[in-house]
Amino acid sequence: MDFTALQRRQLLLVLYIGFISLGLPDTILGVAWPQMQLTFGVPLETAGLLVGLTTIVSFVASLSTGLVLKRISTGMILTVCALTTAFAMLGYGLAPSIYAIAFATLFFGIGQGAVDTAVNAFMTRHYSARQMNWIHGCWGMGATGGPMVFTAIFALGMPWRAGYISVFLIQLCFGLFFMSRLKIWPNEKTANSVAQEAQQTNNTTGKKRFISPAAGVVFYMLYPGVDSVIGLWGASYLITELGSSLATAGAAITMYWGCQMTGRFLIGIVSNRFSGAAIIRGGLSMALIGIAIIFATATPVAFIAALAFIGLGLAPLYPTMMHETPKRAGTANLERITGFQVGANMAGCIVIPTAVGFLVKQPTMSMAIIPWVLLIFAAFIITAHEISVRCR
């Protein structure tokens, strides 16, 4: 697709803000849940069920996005999804029962799943690895901002509902901004058809092996075994196992997402100097150092330091692996493959945090299993990545 310099800058601004909008509500349930659980009088593992419901809906939306993109632009998807997510947050804030929360979750899932696939596919096709990392850094800004909103709300002595209402107002502003910029989006249907025809020879003369694309999908399915487990259960681990306060636990998870954000912006500066495989291996090595710290010293300070290492280590994994998609699977069906990867990640978010939530409630289990969960899934992620690289 041919962009003018002005159009490229305008689109990047919209895309960056789009991923801030995507990240903002993604990480707040783990911080809000200790108070929400008391409000509704439900078991601890209900949070995992809500995440599972969100992800099931997001999974369906992500797989459907490739078809939707044949009819409407990425910009329209971005606008509609931001507004849908905004009103889902309003539903959370006003919900009289856990069932109303579940109903709002349906709309939250639709909004998150569709925009994630659409924007990732657009970035992979038209922008560099540097810009891909930076846009996911913007997701980190949103993911950091969400817990910050709730931490501030709690510090002021206000209830969790005020946090969700605040996020609703911010998301509403984002949606109205995206609506005002719809005219700058190009005709993607025509542009993508031309790009696919230009790449068809490359994709058919030496078809990519099945194993490498499949390993990439598995990588995304396993990724929540570290990332989402920390995001959802990290605060509860600090409170129940290490004796931290609610405010400290919220600040720790905020710092974790902040490290992911910072890491993505930093790696974007040097991403064009290293291969994607080298960046991912380096990130996984840093994450393993963080996990080792958790095992070495069971104190709140050590756990918070470990979260910094893990956050920085995980930072480049999702965007770099996404940008490597054409190397694994070609470009003719990029939107479809991207949908499978995003969907696989969401499937992992359904199964893994929910399973951990049920495990910690068993008589012989507790939150003490969290470090082991992180270590096991880190090993699985490393294996999936190495298979994807070696079988290209």
Total-model pTM: 0.75
Question: What pLDDT does residue 202 have?
Answer: 46
Question: What pLDDT does residue 345 have?
Answer: 86
Comparison of pLDDT for 202 and 40, the residue scoring more: 40
What is the percent of the chain with per-residue pLDDT over 70, rounded to a whole number? 92
Res 92 pLDDT > 50: yes
Query: 8-50: per-residue pLDDT in tens?
Result: 788 989 999 999 999 899 888 888 988 999 999 998 878 878 8
pLDDT average, residue stretch 237-259: 85
Query: 129-187: per-residue pLDDT in tens?
Result: 888 888 888 887 888 889 889 989 998 999 999 999 999 999 999 999 999 998 888 76
Average pLDDT across the chain, whole number: 85
Q: Which domains does the chain have, with CATH numbers?
A: 10-195+206-390 (1.20.1250.20)
Distances (CA, A) of 320 to 126, 128, 323, 386: 15, 10, 5, 14
Question: What pLDDT does residue 209 have?
Answer: 60
Cβ atoms 334, 120 nearer than 8 A: no
Question: What pLDDT does residue 136 have?
Answer: 85
Res 101 pLDDT > 70: yes
Distances (CA, A) of 90 to 155, 164, 327: 21, 7, 41
Distance CA 307, CA 313 (A): 10
